[in-house]
Amino acid sequence: MDKPFLADGQHVVEITDIEEGKSEHKGTPFFACRFENEDGFILQRFYLTKPGMSGILDLCQAVGIEVSEGDQIDTKQLLHKRVAIVVEDRSYEDPETGRERTIKQATAYGKAGSRG
């Protein structure tokens, strides 16, 4: 049986899987990290767009990978890295239905073992 989603709050997790793909709505390229610990997991997409770069740079910095905006990122370097995250709910309007959706997301990436 798969693990449950991580509860809201701070967690130290390992990146146990990475998938690359394109968004269903606009075909925007992304990679998705599975952040996991003994309590559960969360999947988080990182869109390869200008607005998405700050989250990607924060994640890379938190796990000790040096990148600059515009660099190509080898997502395999992220596998099995440990990172501190904050899990929280985020609401947005679904572009296909116009209805509000709420999802869990990982934010506030920090070095594992540090308090952000």
pLDDT tens track for 89-115: 999 888 888 999 999 999 999 999 754
Is the pTM here over 0.75, yes or no? yes
Residue whose entry in the numeric block shows the structure tokens 């146990």:
16
Q: Is residue 2 part of a domain?
A: no
Query: Residue 83: pLDDT above 90?
Result: yes
Q: What percent of the chain has pLDDT over 70?
A: 96
Rg (CA), the chain: 14
Q: Is residue 86 part of a domain?
A: yes
**Encoded amino acid at 45, one letter:** R
Q: Is residue 4 part of a domain?
A: no
Can you give the pLDDT at residue 114? 52
CA 28 to chain centre: 16
Q: Which residues face 37 on adjacent strands? A: 40
Can you give the pLDDT at residue 115? 47
Query: Residue 69: pLDDT above 80?
Result: no
Structural domain boundaries enclosing 31: 9-111
